Structure 1
């Protein structure tokens, strides 16, 4: 309706035809790849861009699949989606076409309109190429404002407004990641946003798990027992060292790692350092429930380890 009003009313506004020349659009034909594309100089230019485009396409397609799975109560095949996307884009490139991927907005509208099978996607593709080839003049007359309005309506229809309400109840770290990824997606692109989100989430995970706790008790023989709970790795070394009172501890101390786990070489080095402190203080130290792999990584604390039947069997990540 708006297009007709603009056309017959001769209203001066920017149209699709002003953005792109659609006068010579024809059915695509096979285009053989140029041999110059396979040179090293060309690959240096092509590969970075192609990798980003591929990541964006894969991520958005898998996100779309996840949304549709949730709406339909079924589970699609991510592997098939990725393979189909690669084959389709490779074939499209041989005919001079641009790369594409699944779109959340269009897919949700298609789903809610009852298009649940392959026929709906096939019909959409056929109609799209017919419109572009045979009715390019009509498309060129569509005002850009109309397309903007359509995209706004698609965004409103696909945006999950309940997620805004959940911001108040979700952890601050999750809310920060959500907002950051959204902003980066708008300012940069989806690939950069996802990578940034993964890095931030990993840092948040490390920070939240960078704490180790110790419960203290005294056994019948008067020995002080530290029962550790939590992971011991590079981020929790400081917390680990803060649990012990070497100066005021009795002459015999037991550190029990039954509920703890040494994750990397930094944790093993922290145990060595603590052992050295007790040794310098002239106190007897016993380390219990360390895995065989962890004991093998200890440099000075090995002789202080006990060997029991219920010792754990986990592996420790070593520095390469």
Structure 2
């Protein structure tokens, strides 16, 4: 492994030459992301069972370190919804010191994972498992905010999902209509702004408007100030939590869970950023950066942190060019902590609950969830089992069972896909295809051959291949005659491949698709005649079709 693979992208971009114009673009993007992150960090801090200042400290310290030391050009890090459930349980069982120890240990685990080159392991997590536990976390986050959104009078809210909702129903007559009005107003503001003016910071506007309404109308509504009267201003001094072997042993399972979630979400976010910005992240360095960031966050009394997909996407859309944008986002948040912490006291809890409802809705990926429900029973079973276990049992159990079941079902499906030919005959055409497939290939046409089952373990290779091509061809032929099996993750990778090719102006031709893959593609409406997608019976037909597409690009056949 070359030293380049372990070079932070910040150093790479600075070596390329950093101009005042680039800094201006990064600073504007950083300010935009900070405006989005400000109310979000406070809300996530409270939802995690901590306090709003802990969320802000995490966004500043971890956000700075993730951008400075990570392997992505435009990744933005901080507290995320994925950690809420884990943090809440760790604090409840082991206290806040226990959480700091678990976060420190998670940081060490992430650094070790990067050093041992485990950054590519994300591709072995099946798509239904990721979608299932993400949607499950979304349901738990939304459920945790019902009390504050409705203003229910409850002395204690049970941690378990079903008892929690039983308590909510019992306390429903105590709903505060003023609190509900503030929550609904904040939620409506966010939704309307997303529809009509998506570039405006809906979260911050909703917080400001609801805070003004509560203060001017003197509404009897719970606020951050009434819930947390002693919020400190400024950054705390770094310090180590009190370590004991018993405490380390007790929190070690939670540390591995935090490290796993941080690694998964950071690398998923980096992949999304690559697709949006046309960059390529360094996965092992990204894990090391995440590890250092979690250690730093714990030393300053913060929460676990990872790459945040929504904030990273906002960063890219706002014109970020280098990791300096993420650093500037942390700097702007630090200025708020230093000079405007007192303003937090006026923020209604119902408004933060509305923000977390929207976070949960975004995390749920309902469209992807519904699409997976149309997949074969095996993928559907993995999705629903992971989702159910996440909500009703435990996140760690859900992931372990989901990955195990997906692997067993994959082996079963592969055994069904294997065909034994007793004649001993070898297909001469298949043996010679690789040698001659590029002979007489027209200019503007690229060809790739996929061999073997296209499942969750190799799905990411297809997207990497497209990035390695460099200048985009006009037609891409994917030879799939030797692909007996396509699972849900493979389908998603093909969808992303076709979409990236379409954005680049290329048409995809699938050659020799077998019945099972063809059936799977039809489930997500990737059949013949789809936009920029064509099917050919064999490679010769695909070549002829490619020539016709090149000759008549404006009148492509369907």
TM-score, reference length from structure 2? 0.35
SS of equivalent to 2:234 = coil
1:40 aligns with one of 216, 222, 245: 245
Alignment partners' CA distance in 2, 1:176 and 1:87? 37
The residue aligned with 1:115 is 320
Distance 1:181 1:67, change over 3 A: farther
Query: Given the alignment of the two structures, is residue 174 of structure 1 paired with residue 174 of structure 2, yes or no?
Result: no
Alignment partners' CA distance in 2, 1:157 and 1:109? 14
Alignment partners' CA distance in 2, 1:58 and 1:27? 26
Quote the offset at 1:190 in angstroms.
5.2
The residue aligned with 1:195 is 400
Quote the offset at 1:60 in angstroms.
1.6
Distance 1:205 1:109, change over 3 A: same
Alignment partners' CA distance in 2, 1:173 and 1:56? 24
Tell me, yes or no, if the aligned pair for 1:104 and 1:158 is still in contact at 8 Å: no
SS of equivalent to 2:306 = coil
Query: Given the alignment of the two structures, is residue 75 of structure 1 paired with residue 283 of structure 2, yes or no?
Result: no
Distance 1:33 1:154, change over 3 A: closer
Task: Spell out, residue by residue over 1:255-275, the C-alpha distance to the aligned partner (whole angstroms, 9 max, x if none).
Answer: xxxxxxxxxxxxxxxxxxxxx
Alignment partners' CA distance in 1, 2:339 and 2:290? 26
Distance 1:142 1:170, change over 3 A: same
SS of equivalent to 2:220 = coil
Distance 1:198 1:99, change over 3 A: same
Consecutive unaligned residues in structure 1, runs of 5 or more: 218-320
Alignment partners' CA distance in 2, 1:185 and 1:115? 35
Tell me, yes or no, if the aligned pair for 2:374 and 2:380 is still in contact at 8 Å: no
1:199-210 matched pairs, under 5 angstroms: 199-210=404-415
Alignment partners' CA distance in 1, 2:211 and 2:341? 14
Tell me, yes or no, if the aligned pair for 2:372 and 2:380 is still in contact at 8 Å: yes
SS of equivalent to 1:115 = coil
Alignment partners' CA distance in 2, 1:58 and 1:45? 22
Distance 1:78 1:203, change over 3 A: same
Aligned length: 215
SS of equivalent to 1:62 = helix
The residue aligned with 2:498 is none
1:251-266 matched pairs, under 5 angstroms: none
Larger radius of gyration: 1
The residue aligned with 2:333 is 128
Tell me, yes or no, if the aligned pair for 1:105 and 1:154 is still in contact at 8 Å: no
The residue aligned with 1:251 is none
Alignment partners' CA distance in 1, 2:343 and 2:219? 16
Alignment partners' CA distance in 2, 1:177 and 1:116? 39
Task: Spell out, residue by residue over 1:15-64, the C-alpha distance to the aligned partner (whole angstroms, 9 max, x if none).
Answer: 22344344333322131454xx1x43232123222222222211221222
SS of equivalent to 1:167 = helix
Tell me, yes or no, if the aligned pair for 1:105 and 1:158 is still in contact at 8 Å: no
Query: Given the alignment of the two structures, is residue 61 of structure 1 paired with residue 266 of structure 2, yes or no?
Result: yes
Alignment partners' CA distance in 1, 2:277 and 2:408? 34
Alignment partners' CA distance in 1, 2:358 and 2:319? 19
SS of equivalent to 1:13 = coil
Alignment partners' CA distance in 2, 1:186 and 1:18? 31
The residue aligned with 1:27 is 235
Alignment partners' CA distance in 1, 2:413 and 2:212? 58
Alignment partners' CA distance in 1, 2:257 and 2:343? 34
Tell me, yes or no, if the aligned pair for 2:372 and 2:383 is still in contact at 8 Å: no
The alignment's C-alpha RMSD in Å is 3.0
Alignment partners' CA distance in 1, 2:397 and 2:269? 18
TM-score, reference length from structure 1? 0.57
The residue aligned with 1:5 is 213
Quote the offset at 1:142 in angstroms.
0.8
Alignment partners' CA distance in 2, 1:44 and 1:61? 26
Quote the offset at 1:204 in angstroms.
1.0
Distance 1:30 1:215, change over 3 A: closer
Higher helix share goes to which structure?
2
Distance 1:159 1:138, change over 3 A: same
